[in-house]
Each structure stands twice: as structure tokens, then as C-alpha cells.
Amino acid sequence: MTNRKLIRVFPRRTSCTPRDRLAFVGDPPLFRPPPGEVEEVHVSVTFTWDLPEAERLRSAWAGHYPVVKIGGPALDPPAGKFVPGRYMKPGVTFTSRGCDRKCPWCRVPGREGKIQELQDYPDGWIVQDNNLLQTSQAHQAGVFDMLRRQPKPIELAGGIDVRLLNPWFVEQVLTLRLGQIFLAADTRPQVKLLEEARELLRDIPQKKLRVYTLIGFGNDTIAKATERLERVWSLGCIPYAQLYQPEDKRINYSYPWRLLSKQWSRPAIMYSMHKVAQAVSGTAAQLPLPGPSAGDPGALPRTAHWTRGRNGSTSSPEPAP
């Protein structure tokens, strides 16, 4: 790119969407940079189900600027060097790509391949690696050295694999000015392993310990999902419920499923409802089910797609228009 400006356009806003004056969500606004000051417009698409909207936006922006490109994780594998703040908000960084796991709901291995350590990654305080614990300890040590230099509280946001959590890693985490750490416990066996992980992380308070918990996949039901989420909460963690979406379509979940996801992704709601339930029962009580099992989606196609949506974002890498 030259000194002329690059406009980035996004079909939807997430917590990781940039908020600078050249980042836009949706259609061209009335007040925008003049065409002579803009070299290119990049429409960045994270989710495959947003592709129709992205194509519409490309046409809309092409009415004002001559070069409009479309790309991103929904279309392309990561290409080139990650540029902080371009397609994700400042502070986000990747120190590795890929994952050696082959989880049936996840698209990462198919589009990024096996784990790859990046030797030249930018500083940042929000680490979005798909599976940091699959990298070597030497690589992790370098990452922690970088994180200790950061001016803001650290977020380990990609989802720490509870199957690989170990005392050395926890010791390094405790040297950080920690904002939040996100674990990943997407299945019932992983939730069971979370018990051991929580013991290792006993010095981290609940408010800083989030757990990505996949719901709605396969033969999952609201009752089963609620049981897993309650177990995560009972271990002194804050669940982050994520509704499964396949790669080739977007499931329109029933209201009970959407309510369950909302209840179990917002800490304030969880604290409030558990406080009310405890006051009513006199003991630590479970949240009520959001609806009858008739609202369950039944068996969903086991299509391999699911991007880690921490706080509304994804762990997908920088788009490559």
C-alpha cells in the first residue's frame, strides 16, 4: 500500500472489529474519505454466512471507490504478515497458526493446517492463537516475555486447551498482569478435565477465568448443554456459551437456544441469576432451563466449521483480500 488510505469494511461488528476512522460496518456513510485519498477498499468477511452481505457491500462501496476487494477468513487461508490493527482491533496478535487437533466442529485445521510457530509476530496484549499450548515451551517462553512488556492487562483469548494445561504454563500466567484467560472445554470429557485445570489455576479468581463451551452440536439438547454450563460455573469459572454453526449454512436456532446462549455468555446475567436462585432456594441453585426440549435442534450436520468466538470475535486470522 502507498501513503493513500485503506478503508476496511465489515458485514457485522464484533468486539475485535477495529474502531478507527477508516473502519466501517455496513454501507458507505454520508461522510467518508474522498475517492482521491483512498487507494483500496477491503471488505473483510469472517463468517461464511456473511458472504452474501459482503458481496452486496462490495457493490455498494464500488459505487464510490474504484478498487473494492473482498476477502477474509471466510474465503482465504492466512496470507502475508499479520498487520496489527488492520482487520482486528489494536492489541490483538497471533504467535502461531493452525492446530493439530481435528475437532469435527472446527475449521481451523482445514484452512490453516497443523500448528506452526511464527518467528516474527507483533507485540500485543490479546493473544488469539488457536492452540498456544501445542507450541514448544521455548516459543511459549518468548510469548510470555513479550506479554510482560505490554502496557495493558493481558487476555489469553484463543482458548487454552485444558488437555495440555501444565504447572509451568500456569506459573508463567501468574507473572502477568492478567485481564482474562479463556480455556476451551467443548465436550463433556473436557469439562471433566476442567476440574484438574481449575486446581492448577486456583490462584486466578473466577472473574478472570472464562471457559468457551460449545453448545448445540450433534445430538446436544438444552438440558445437556445446561448441565455442562452449570458444571463449568460450579468449578469457579465463567462459561462462554457458543452456539455451533456449520460452514455451509447458518442455523436459525429457536428462542430457547438463543436465550441459553445469551444467559451463559454474559457474566452479569450469570451472577444475577445465580444470586436470585440462591436467595430463593437458600442454597447454590441452578438456573432454570430457558425452554422445553422441543426447542432443541436435534441432530445437526457434523460439518467441520466453528471458529472460536471469544467475546464475539473469532480466532480466525487476518483477512487477505
Mean pLDDT of the chain: 86
pTM, rounded to two decimals: 0.83
Question: Is 301 a member of any domain?
Answer: yes
Question: Is 167 a member of any domain?
Answer: yes
First to last CA, the chain: 13
pLDDT tens sequence across 234-262: 999 999 999 998 877 789 999 999 999 99
Question: Is 320 a member of any domain?
Answer: no
Do residues 203 and 174 make contact, with C-beta atoms less than 8 angstroms apart? yes
Query: Is 256 found in the same domain as 174?
Result: yes
pLDDT tens sequence across 85-130: 999 999 999 999 988 898 888 888 778 889 999 999 999 999 999 9
Question: Is 87 a member of any domain?
Answer: no
Spatial separation of the C-alpha atoms in residues 92 and 43, rounded to whole Å: 19
pLDDT tens sequence across 142-186: 999 999 999 999 999 999 999 999 999 999 999 999 999 999 988
Spatial separation of the C-alpha atoms in residues 161 and 134, rounded to whole Å: 9
* Residue tagged 513479550 (cell numbers): 146
Specify the number of domains making up the chain: 2
Question: Is 317 a member of any domain?
Answer: no
Please name the residues in contact with 52: beta carbons below 8 A apart, sequence gap of 6 or more.
none
Residue 103 is predicted with a pLDDT of 85
For 113: left if phi > 0, alpha if psi spans -120 to 50, otherwise beta; the answer is left
Residue 286 pLDDT more than 80?
A: no
Question: Is 222 a member of any domain?
Answer: yes
Which range is least confidently modeled, 213-217, 241-245, 259-263, 280-284?
280-284
Query: Is 179 found in the same domain as 41?
Result: no
Say how many C-beta atoms besides its own lie within 10 A of residue 25's C-beta.
16
Residue 304 is predicted with a pLDDT of 28
**β-strand pairing of 92-93 with 126-127:** parallel
Query: Is 66 found in the same domain as 109?
Result: no
Which range is least confidently modeled, 57-66, 141-150, 275-284, 299-308?
299-308
Cell readout for 42 is 477491503
Q: What angle do CA 38, 44, 48 make, to 5 degrees?
A: 155
- Minimal CA–CA distance to 33: which of 23, 25, 43? 23
Domain housing 47? 5-71
Residue 311 is predicted with a pLDDT of 35
Residue 299 is predicted with a pLDDT of 33
The dihedral sign for the CA sequence 262, 266, 271, 276? negative
